[in-house]
Amino acid sequence: MQSFEYVVKDELGLHARPAGLLVKFVSSCSSEINLTAHDKTASAKKLFGIMGLCVKMNDKITFTVIGPDEKADCAKIKEFCEKNI
Catalytic-labelled residue, pool 4, 15, 46, 47: 15
Cα(58)–Cα(63) distance, integer angstroms: 16
CB 34 within 8 A of CB 44: yes
Verify whether residue 15 is a known catalytic residue. yes
> Which residues are catalytic, by number?
15
